[in-house]
């Protein structure tokens, strides 16, 4: 069933949060609204584990508020509002999580499940291309072949 939306710029809080995600720069409001509709809000207290290495990936997370810590084998990386995690295990059907991710502070995220992720990359090749860049950078960093 169609949900009523006010005419004009979508002012939904979720869409505002997605507007702050650099990955989505250039997407129209209606595209952001579609992603926002597909997303689930996830709110966890400081200290909570969100992603465990070795698990199957069920979703990816866009941080709206708070700080997450990614614990790779090499280092701890902090991620904040506008950044995302959990994409790597969604980019291949049988991939597993590559790192532990924990909430450093109370954390509010928008989460996309596997099906919504597939829909996103299928409809937005430019988003898929940016995702590949970020993913390769992270894998290279974890492999020790880059410094950033």
Residue 49 to residue 33: CA distance in whole angstroms: 28
CB of 54 to ligand CMP, least distance (A): 10
Residue (8 or 93) nearer to ligand CMP, CB: 93
Q: Is 86 in the site for ligand CMP (CB under 6 A)?
A: yes
**Residues ≥6 apart with Cβ < 8 Å to 25:** none
Q: Tell me the window of 6-14, 34-42, 79-87, 125-133 that interacts with ligand CMP (CB under 6 A).
A: 79-87
Residue (10 or 77) nearer to ligand CMP, CB: 77
Residue (116 or 142) nearer to ligand CMP, CB: 142
Q: Is 116 in the site for ligand CMP (CB under 6 A)?
A: no
């Amino acid at each position: 069933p169609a949900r009523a939306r006010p005419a004009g710029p979508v002012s939904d809080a979720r869409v505002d949060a997605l507007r702050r995600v650099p990955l989505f720069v250039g997407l129209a409001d209606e595209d952001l609204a579609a992603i926002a509709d597909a997303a689930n809000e996830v709110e966890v207290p400081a200290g909570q584990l969100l992603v465990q290495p070795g698990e199957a990936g069920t979703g990816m997370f866009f941080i709206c508020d708070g700080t997450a810590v990614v614990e790779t084998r090499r280092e701890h990386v902090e991620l904040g509002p506008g950044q995302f995690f959990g994409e790597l295990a969604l980019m291949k059907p049988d991939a597993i999580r590559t790192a532990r991710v924990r909430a450093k502070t109370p954390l509010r995220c928008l989460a996309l499940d596997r099906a919504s992720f597939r829909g996103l990359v299928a409809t937005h090749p430019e988003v898929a291309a940016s995702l590949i860049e970020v993913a390769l950078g992270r894998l290279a960093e974890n492999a020790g072949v880059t410094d950033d």
